[in-house]
Amino acid sequence: MVLISAATILSGLLQVFAPGFVLRLIGAEITNSTSHFFAIIGMFMFLFGGLMLHTIYRAKPSREAVLWCALQKIGACVAVAIGIYKGLFSFMALGVALFDLFSGILFLYYHRTLKSDERD
C-alpha cells in the first residue's frame, strides 16, 4: 500500500506538471482545456496519495481516510473506463483503470482489517 500511495503521489505530480505527456500516453486529445482539467485531476491524485501514505504511518490509521482513498481509486477506475468506452482514451488507459481497481480493492481490504474506533 505504501508503493501504491507513493505511485499515486508521483503520477499525480506528473499530471500536474506535465499533463500533455500523460494525455499522449493514454491516447487522449491534448488541448488547453484537457491539459488544465487533467492537471486538476493530478492535484487530487497527489492529495489522496499523500493522505493514504500519511494515514498508513500513523500510530492508529484512520479508517475514514482509508475508506475515502479506496473510494477515490474505485471512482478513478470507473471514470477511466467510461473515458475508454466513450473513445476519449485509448485502450492503453485500461492499465490505469485496472491498477486503480486493484488499488481500491486492496485499500478496502486494509480498511476492513483496521479496528473500529472504540469510544469509552
Measured distance CA(63)–CA(7) in Å, rounded: 21
Measured distance CA(44)–CA(30) in Å, rounded: 20
- What's the pLDDT tens digit per position in 50-102? 999 999 999 999 999 999 999 999 999 999 999 999 999 999 999 999 999 99
Using DSSP, how many helices (H) and how many strands (E) does the chain show?
Answer: 5, 0
Question: Is the Cα dihedral 45, 90, 22, 25 positive or negative?
Answer: positive
pLDDT of residue 120: 35
Measured distance CA(38)–CA(108) in Å, rounded: 26
Looking at the whole model, is its pTM more than 0.85? Answer: yes
Q: Where are the domains of the chain?
A: 2-113
CA distances from 106 to 18, 25, 50, 118 (A): 28, 26, 17, 24
pLDDT of residue 31: 94
- What's the pLDDT tens digit per position in 26-40? 999 999 999 999 999
pLDDT at 118 over 80: no
Contact by Cβ (8 Å): 39, 14: no
